[in-house]
Structure 1
Amino acid sequence: MLFLVISACGQASEEESETDSASAGEGEVTEQDSVEEEDEADDAIPSDLEANPSEYPQFQAVSEDEIEVIMHTNMGEIHLKLFPEFAPKAVENFIALSEQGFYDGIIFHRVIENFMIQGGDPTGTGSGGESIFGDTFEDEFTTSLAHFHGALSMANRGPNTNSSQFFIVHADETQVNEEYLARIEAQRGFAFPEQTKERYLEVGGTPHLDFGHTVFGHVIGGFEVVNAIAGVEKGANDRPVEDVVIESVEIVQ
């Protein structure tokens, strides 16, 4: 399968990655939950996209309506907050799986520096995973959350195919510029809210993944651990040479 990876200034470079099940061209569905460069999600774009959000909860203190968790890894702790108001099913799924110990011992199986780190597959291959609902579950999109640097989002293999795999956005401000944002708008047929564009230019992220993947959390501490994981030596299929292990996920509140 061909993955497209973001590089500096919004350009794309190609990397080869194989799955255990099948290979497919762009736009085809495989058994591997993945994070592609270009997602076809126009039908899912909210109709009120032009409305500028007054503030982004991703950059606010943890509120009473949010949930804080600590992801303990063999490289350190990552502190995150979850957004049940905006992504109730994704948050319910993540919390329930965490409390069941589902993520304990699972590795980050796909790591691409200046793009994202991906985990949540008990097989460690990128082709496994399951939700608490007995099947995949639907996407939850909102203009109040975006794939800014540090966003926690659901990996998928197409619309409404969320299971247990997730990723944390590692792309920083060097990966986003105005030309890149304009290209995404032209390709996808919408305009980002001005505040969203300003925030992407300030902190970075993966704007091409908006309305293609469900953002349900954000890193609020331990960015140095995310950076360290993103920088490990990789082998075939962007898999770390030495396992990066999720030891447990602790629900703080």
Structure 2
Amino acid sequence: MSNGGIGGGAQAQSADASQDLENTLYLDLEAGRVVIKLRPDLAPKHVERIKELTREGFYDGLTFHRVIEGFMAQGGDPKGDGTGGSGQKLPAEFSNENHVRGTVSMARSSNPNSADSQFFIVFADAPHLDGQYTIWGQVVSGMEYVDGLKKGAPWANGRVADPDHIVKMQVAADAQ
């Protein structure tokens, strides 16, 4: 990969995110680092819980167990099959924010107040999700690494047979 013209843009985005290190997450994949700007303005309780779980090392080693080409990548399940969580359900914090490429939202069951530790990152704009899922972050750099996650089979609802892992997730303020 070249550091040419695209490198400067990624650096500028990373610099913007690093201005608030307490509200920036580093999600390290084998392929590289994904930087997520947290959105406590939209979902303060979810951001607080994500940071708490991150600081406990909860996400380290977990998989992106469900990845649907052109739609989203879902991870954060300690069971790795979409049925697990941390054991603490969160009340929905819906907003008027749109699900655009790189948006990070909470996964949940049909109950809007069932989000726990699982989250997803959308590959493309997904307006059908707007107002239905709690948005808590936005990828500001490294989206190419999310794009590169192993995709699941369409007939298996995106379930990935040999999924990619989160190497480490940390709050940027703790990475200094």
Runs of 4+ more than 3 Å apart: 61-66
Tell me which residue corresponds to 1:139: 92
Match of 2:107 in 1: 155
Selected match of 1:214 from 106, 126, 134: 134
Tell me if 1:127 matches 2:83: yes
Change (3 A) 1:207 1:66: farther
1:138 maps to a residue whose letter is P
RMSD: 1.7
For 1:151, the aligned partner's letter is T
* CA–CA separation in structure 1 for the residues paired with 2:22 and 2:126: 23
**Matching residue's letter, 2:27:** M
For residues 79 and 222 of structure 1, the distance between their equivalents in structure 2, rounded to whole angstroms, comes to 6
Alignment-mate amino acid for residue 112 of structure 1: I
Q: Partner of 1:239 in structure 2?
A: 159
Instruction: Say whether the 8 Å CA contact 2:68–2:157 is kept in structure 1.
Output: no
Which whole-Å CA distance do the structure 1 matches of 2:67 and 2:29 have between them?
15
**Structure 1, gaps ≥5 residues long:** 1-60, 172-204
Distance in 2 (alpha carbons) for counterparts of 1:87 and 1:244: 27
TM-score (norm 2): 0.81
- With over 3 angstroms needed to count, the CA separation of the structure-2 counterparts of 1:244 and 1:85, relative to structure 1, is same
Kept in 1: contact 2:66–2:160 (CA 8 A)? yes
SS of residue paired to 1:238: coil
Q: Where do 1:1-253 residues align within 5 Å?
A: 61-62=16-17, 64=20, 67-130=23-86, 135-143=88-96, 145-157=97-109, 158-171=111-124, 205-229=125-149, 232-235=150-153, 236-253=156-173
Aligned-pair CA distance for 1:215: 0.4
Q: Percent identity?
A: 41
Counterpart contact for 2:100–2:126, Cα < 8 Å? yes
Give the aligned residue type for 1:128.
G
Q: Distance in 1 between matches of 2:54 and 2:22?
A: 16
CA distance in 1, matches of 2:131, 2:89: 17
Supply the distance in 2 between the matched residues of 1:106 and 1:65 (Cα, whole angstroms).
Answer: 23
Distance 1:241 1:252, change over 3 A: same
Which runs of no fewer than 5 residues in structure 2 stay unpaired? Answer: 1-15
How many residue pairs get aligned? The number is 154
Residue 84 of structure 1 and its aligned partner are, at CA, apart by: 1.2
